């Protein structure tokens, strides 16, 4: 399966069968200009414009924005309700964490999660091969240290950071280095491009790898 970073918190997941899911497409006001993509389905973690710009996705996709379990042409998806902030959702509302199974690979997208890590959530989401997690803090999501706590408890094979400060972005977020500095140097892999491919055989369960993607601008 392929994972393509579209910038900000948006990704396109594509199974070997061709079934594709776009996650959290964003409005151009973010500062990035998301390339036009098509998909069978779009999942939305919450209704803020930087995560719910479904107009940017073609192909008449099914929109999934509620808690539940779903199947899209053989791809299994389920969502877990969490908080967008550390005050029970009273400040920024709720957030859906989505888990996808493609080609035997378990991918988890954390949306704009803002609450602290707890054991009940971890038990609900594991196992995870690839964790897509916000790290930028700034009152929008968990910060780098809080994201690292999730990584330590979920123990994914691969973690791909998202929702952090870039030179094109308009949000005042923390920089990538605040997250990568929390890992050993040999755990970090920089990819020349916006896409990685995985199958079940790629994961040995040895140590979490931090994969840094660059998206096409």
pLDDT tens digits along 113-146: 989 999 999 999 999 999 999 998 878 899 999 9
Mean pLDDT of 97-122: 95
Return the ∠ at Cα 166 (arms to 160 and 167), rounded to 5°.
155
Taking the CB of residue 145, how many other CB atoms lie within 10 A of it? 13
Give the pLDDT score at 117.
94
**Would you say 9 and 50 are in contact if contact means Cβ atoms under 8 Å apart?**
yes
The band of 30, judged by pLDDT with boundaries at 50, 70 and 90, is: confident
CATH of 2-212, one of 3.30.70.20, 2.30.30.700, 3.40.50.10700, 3.60.15.10: 3.60.15.10
Residues in the chain: 217
Q: Which residue has the tokens 């908080």?
A: 83
CA distance 181 to 190: 14
- pLDDT tens-digit map of 180-194: 999 999 999 999 999
Is residue 170 predicted with pLDDT exceeding 90?
A: no
> What are residue 132's DSSP bridge partners?
109, 160
Distance CA 98, CA 15 (A): 16
Could you tell me the pLDDT band of residue 204, with boundaries at 50, 70 and 90?
A: confident
pTM of this prediction?
A: 0.94
**Integer Cα distance of 121 and 193 in angstroms:** 32
């Amino acid at each position: 399966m392929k994972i393509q970073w579209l910038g900000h918190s948006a990704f396109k997941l594509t199974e070997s069968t061709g079934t594709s899911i776009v996650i959290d497409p964003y409005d151009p006001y973010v500062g990035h200009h998301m390339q036009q993509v098509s998909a069978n389905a779009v999942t939305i973690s919450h209704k803020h414009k930087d995560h719910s710009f479904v107009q940017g996705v073609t192909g008449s996709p099914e929109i999934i924005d509620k808690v539940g379990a779903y199947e899209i042409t053989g791809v299994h998806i389920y969502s877990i309700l969490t908080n967008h902030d550390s005050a029970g959702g009273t400040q920024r509302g709720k957030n859906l964490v989505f888990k996808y199974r493609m080609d035997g690979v378990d991918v988890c997208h954390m949306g704009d999660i803002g609450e602290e890590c707890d054991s009940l959530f971890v038990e609900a989401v594991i196992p995870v091969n690839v964790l897509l997690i916000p790290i930028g803090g700034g009152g929008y999501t968990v910060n780098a240290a809080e994201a690292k706590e999730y990584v330590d408890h979920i123990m994914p094979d691969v973690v791909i950071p998202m929702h952090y400060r870039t030179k094109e972005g308009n949000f005042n977020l923390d920089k990538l280095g605040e997250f990568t500095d929390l890992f050993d140097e040999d755990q970090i892999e920089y990819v020349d491009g916006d896409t990685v491919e995985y199958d079940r055989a790629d994961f040995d369960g040895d140590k979490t790898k931090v994969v840094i993607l660059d998206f096409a601008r």
